[in-house]
Amino acid sequence: MGLTRLTCRQASRLQSQSLDRELTLSERLSLRMHTAVCDACTRVSRQLHFLRRALRDYPGPEQ
């Protein structure tokens, strides 16, 4: 099975989609191989998950 080498552009799309649907096995593996060697996409992945948590907590702590 040939895995696609992703660019950050492609990786970021998959990162967004992973928050809305289950990625296929090959998408997951391609993404994992990319983030393993890419600091920018590792950050973006954490940040997108953080944003999801922040929106769940919205409107924030009660005063």
Partner 1 sequence: MRNLPPSSEARELQEHRPHLLRFALLQLRDTSAAEDAVQETLLAALQAPFDGRSSVRTWLIGILKHKIVDHLRRQVREAPFADPAELSTADLEALFAEDGHYATQPGDWHDPDQALQQQRFFEALERCLQALPRTTSRAFMMREILGMDTAEICKELGVSATNCGVLLYRARMALRACIEKTWFSTARM
Q: Which residues bind partner 1 (CB under 8 A)?
A: 7-10, 12-13, 16-17, 19-21, 40, 43-44, 46-48, 50-63
Asked if 14 and 23 count as a contact pair (C-beta separation under 8 A), the reply is yes
In the complex, least distance from residue 26 CB atom to partner 1, rounded to whole angstroms = 18
Q: Which amino acid type is present at position 5?
A: R
- In terms of Cα–Cα distance, which of 18, 8, 10, 16 is closest to 40? 8
In the complex, least distance from residue 19 CB atom to partner 1, rounded to whole angstroms = 7
What is the token pair recorded at 12? Answer: 């970021």
Of 1 and 62, CB closest to partner 1? 62
